[in-house]
Structure 1
Amino acid sequence: MTATRPAERAPVPRRTSRLLVLDHRNRLLLLCGRDPRAEGARWWFTVGGEVEAGEDFTAAALREMREETGLELGASRLGPPVWTRNALFSVDGVRFDQYEEYRPARVTSAEAARMRIDTREARYGHAWWSVDRLAGTGEAVRPKGMAGLLPAVYAGGPGGVVHLGDVDEDRTDG
């Protein structure tokens, strides 16, 4: 009997709540991670994570904010969902089929200064990104195309939830 390789197994379904953490200068906080099995495979991503049993997307967003940045925010500090996305990707030999919901969270300059980024989540760094930096980078940032989408978020939201598509992050061309 031969073992099934990870790519041949059914992807693990996952629901995530992601935050567009924006500072007083309209910069977006991104964390940097990498796949330990793929040489040089690193990418930037938003604060957030899996919706755990018994949580809704808002509760998960608040918990992830606390765990990843050290900040305690109330639900009233979160904006409504602005983007959704379905993403297939692999990390450490496991393939995921992930539904993502994105919502903005504004922080003051004092709150940004108090943040203590969890280095287990952002092993390879964290940074505040401007739209110009996002537009000009050659680095992998997820989701793609945020530079063109963020101005509507800064202006109060796109006027509804925008679905960013169904993507396979493991594909080199997409």
Structure 2
Amino acid sequence: MTPAKRRTSRVLLVDDRDRLLLPCGRDPRRPGARRWFTVGGAVEDGEDWVRAAVREVHEETAPTLAAHRPSPVVWTRQALFSVDGRRFDQYGEYRLALVTADEARGVEVTTEEARYGHRWWSLDELATTGRTVRPMRLVSHLSAVLAAGESLPVPVHRGDFDEDADPG
């Protein structure tokens, strides 16, 4: 089966305590297989990457971010994976968006694929969890971005992954 091509714009929503928001979902064909993932989703036809990022944040978490709030791209990645019996070949761009304490309190994850809740994760919690978190190697990538502060790094391609072959 040829994987469906998909372009996604993802947002690393980080609160005033450097915690990252991750919704929780699961693959309906794999009972109990839950995964934590970043906010974001598909870039629609005729939509630019930033507009997709802002739309996805609003659709999935309720807050409305102005178009200038997400940072420029901090990293990209290519991933092959399967969900609900379908195989995807997904290219993703990741942007950082810092939110205030009030905005973080107002988050309400509204996407159906995150029906198992959401959580604000510290870097230490992400580094030590035994749970499945996507994208792979998230902690090291996010640590580098947060350490850069105001001078965000030039976007880095974080690799090509087959998440079905390398579940870690």
- For Structure 1 versus Structure 2, the TM-score category normalised by the shorter chain is over 0.9
When normalised by structure 2's length, the TM-score is 0.94
1:121 matched to 2:99? The reply is no
Select 2:157's aligned residue among 148, 151, 163. Answer: 163
Superposed structure 1 runs of 4+ greater than 4 Å apart: none
Matches of 2:156 and 2:127, distance apart in 1: 19
Structure 2 CA distance for partners of 1:91 and 1:173, relative to 1, 3 Å: closer
Name the SS of the counterpart of 1:65 in structure 2: helix
Q: Over the residues paired in the alignment, what is the CA RMSD in angstroms? A: 1.3
**Hey, what does 1:10 align to over in structure 2?**
2
Match of 2:54 in 1: 62
Question: What is the distance in 1 between the residues matched to 2:167 and 2:86?
Answer: 20
Which deviations, in whole Å up to 9, do the C-alpha atoms of 1:83-127 show, x marking residues without a partner? Answer: 101010111111000001000011100111112211513111110
2:37 aligned with 1:45, yes or no? yes
Contact 1:68 1:121 (8 Å CA) reproduced:
no
Match of 1:6 in 2: none
2:129 equivalent in structure 1: 137
| Code of the aligned partner of 2:162 | D
Where does structure 2 lack aligned partners over 5 or more consecutive residues? none
CA–CA separation in structure 2 for the residues paired with 1:165 and 1:158: 19
Q: How far does the alpha carbon of each residue in 1:114-145 deviate from its partner, in whole angstroms, 9 at most, with x for none?
A: 12211513111110011100110111111122
After alignment, is 57-66 or 116-125 more displaced? 116-125
Percent identical pairs in the alignment equals: 60
What do the CA deviations read for 1:23-74 (whole angstroms, capped 9, x no partner)? 0000000011110001222111000000001101100000000000111111
- The gaps in structure 1 that reach 5 residues or longer are 1-8
Instruction: Please tell me whether the aligned partners of residues 59 and 111 of structure 2 are also in contact (alpha carbons under 8 angstroms).
Output: no
| Residue 173 (structure 1) shift | 5.5
* Segment drifting more, 9-18 vs 110-119: 110-119
The answer as to whether partners of 2:145 and 2:153 remain within 8 angstroms in 1 is no
Shift of the alpha carbon at 1:80? Answer: 0.8
Partner residue in 1 for 2:92:
100
User: What is the DSSP-based 3-state SS (H/G/I as helix, E as strand, rest coil) of the residue aligned with 1:73?
Assistant: coil
The amino acid that maps onto 2:137 is: G
The alignment status of 1:29 with 2:32, answered yes or no, reads no
Counterparts of 1:173 and 1:77, CA distance in 2: 32
Query: Which secondary structure state, in structure 1, belongs to the residue aligned with residue 113 of structure 2?
Result: coil
